[in-house]
């Protein structure tokens, strides 16, 4: 299956979402975050990135084989004059630069293998979307491998569009595998897909709360005073919050920290408590925006 998505960030099943993304940038650009079913690291999608998937039935214990599934992609690229190779981190490289990340998911005797192909993606947006201060997070989640990436387009003729590239890859695979059958989603398929989207893949519980327990620590400045925030999250909800600062208003502020317990690791939740009735007098005297920025 070959497919393209509008701008989005896709995190691996076993990752801490907040520890992988630049939430401020994603909110500013209205880029959604979705957790996938397979493992591996975080990837960026846009309409100039082509994704491929193979689903195969096989022998238990012998299903996981990254090199087997990227081999036909590498063969295809060679027909375009691109000499690519399988990397050691489940990626595909050209001259040491990554243009494809891959992941797999096994269910009983079936395997889903999928990967990205950066054709002409917005590499600036990609970089900003995953630009995160890694030392702010302490957890046992799977971490993404930060790599130098490139677009395939720079190695291909200017006239070749992503649509034509997709068509060419489909034709290559159709000829390589003689049992290929073209399939279109029917109404029942689309209904099931929509239901799965609403019940799982659009929910905060799946995309963020599925993350493991983690510690978040951040140093900042508010109203000219240094501040250190330390918070523990479980299922991406606040379990414990400590704020250390010499700011004169925070001695009283700290008596209200219990109000924040249970909120999501989202700046909108934090800000809502800050401007609530109980904290209205204090929040009117401090830089609320600066304090909210300390929370993520």
Contact present, 139 and 214 (Cβ < 8 Å): yes
Do 168 and 253 lie in one domain? The reply is no
Q: Which of 58-62, 96-100, 244-248 has the least mean pLDDT?
A: 58-62
Show the tokens assigned to 296: 């993520």
The distance from CA 165 to its chain's CA centroid, rounded to whole angstroms, is 25
Do 51 and 101 lie in one domain? The reply is yes
Of 207, 235, 261, the domain-final residue: 207
Strands (E), the chain: 2-3, 8-11, 33-35, 43-45, 49-57, 85-86, 91-94, 97-107, 110-118, 137-139, 214-222, 225-234, 237-245
pLDDT of residue 134: 84
The whole-number average pLDDT for the span 213-239 is 97
149-187 per-position pLDDT tens digit: 999 999 999 999 999 999 999 999 999 998 888 899 999
The CATH number of the domain holding residue 160 is: 3.30.930.10
Is the per-residue pLDDT at 60 higher than 90? Answer: no
The strand pair at 137-139 and 110-118 is best described as unpaired
The CATH number of the domain holding residue 284 is: 3.30.390.50
For the chain, where are the alpha helices, taking DSSP H only? Answer: 23-29, 66-79, 123-129, 162-176, 187-196, 204-207, 250-253, 267-274, 280-283, 288-293
Do 50 and 85 lie in one domain? The reply is yes
What is the distance between the alpha carbons of residues 246 and 269, in angstroms, rounded to a whole number? Answer: 25
Do 92 and 127 lie in one domain? The reply is yes
Do 193 and 96 lie in one domain? The reply is yes
Do 29 and 131 lie in one domain? The reply is yes
Do 259 and 174 lie in one domain? The reply is no
> How many structural domains does the chain have?
2
Do 155 and 22 lie in one domain? The reply is yes
Do 173 and 26 lie in one domain? The reply is yes
Per the structure, the complete domain to which residue 259 belongs is given by 214-293
179-224 per-position pLDDT tens digit: 888 899 999 999 999 999 999 999 999 999 999 999 999 999 999 9
Of 207, 239, 268, the domain-final residue: 207
Of 207, 229, 262, the domain-final residue: 207
Do 188 and 170 lie in one domain? The reply is yes
Do 226 and 283 lie in one domain? The reply is yes
Do 44 and 130 lie in one domain? The reply is yes
Using CA atoms, how far residue 246 sits from 160, 222, 243, 278, 294, in Å, is 60, 10, 10, 22, 16
Is the per-residue pLDDT at 28 higher than 90? Answer: yes
| Nearest partner of 132 among 18, 8, 266, 11, judged by Cα | 18
Is the per-residue pLDDT at 98 higher than 90? Answer: yes
- Give per-residue burial for 229-258: e unless 16+ CB within 10 Å, then b: bebebeebebeebebebebebbeebeeeee
């Amino acid at each position: 299956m070959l497919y393209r998505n509008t701008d989005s960030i896709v995190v691996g099943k076993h990752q801490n979402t907040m520890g992988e993304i630049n939430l401020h940038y994603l909110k500013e650009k209205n880029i959604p975050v979705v957790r996938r079913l397979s493992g591996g690291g975080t990837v960026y999608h846009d309409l100039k990135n082509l994704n491929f998937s193979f689903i195969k039935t096989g022998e238990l214990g012998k299903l996981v084989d990254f090199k087997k599934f990227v081999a036909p992609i590498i063969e295809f690229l060679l027909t375009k004059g691109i000499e690519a190779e399988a990397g050691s981190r489940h990626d595909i490289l050209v001259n040491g630069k990554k243009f494809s990340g891959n992941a797999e998911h096994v269910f009983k005797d079936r395997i889903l293998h999928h990967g990205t192909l950066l054709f002409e993606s917005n590499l600036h947006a990609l970089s900003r979307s995953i630009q995160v201060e890694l030392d702010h997070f302490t957890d046992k989640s799977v971490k993404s491998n930060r790599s130098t990436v490139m677009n395939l387009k720079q190695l291909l003729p200017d006239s070749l569009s992503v649509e034509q590239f997709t068509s060419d890859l489909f034709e290559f695979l159709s000829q390589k595998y003689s049992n290929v059958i073209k399939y279109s989603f029917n109404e029942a398929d689309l209904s099931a897909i929509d239901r799965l989207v609403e019940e799982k893949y659009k929910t905060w519980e799946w995309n963020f709360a599925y993350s493991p327990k983690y510690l978040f620590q951040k140093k900042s400045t508010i109203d000219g005073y240094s501040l250190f925030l330390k918070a523990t999250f479980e299922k991406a909800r606040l379990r414990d919050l400590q704020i250390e600062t010499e700011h004169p208003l925070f001695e009283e502020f700290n008596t209200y920290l219990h109000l924040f317990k249970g909120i999501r690791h989202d700046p909108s939740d934090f800000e809502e408590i800050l401007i609530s009735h109980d904290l209205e007098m204090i929040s009117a005297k401090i830089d609320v925006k600066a304090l909210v920025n300390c929370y993520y």
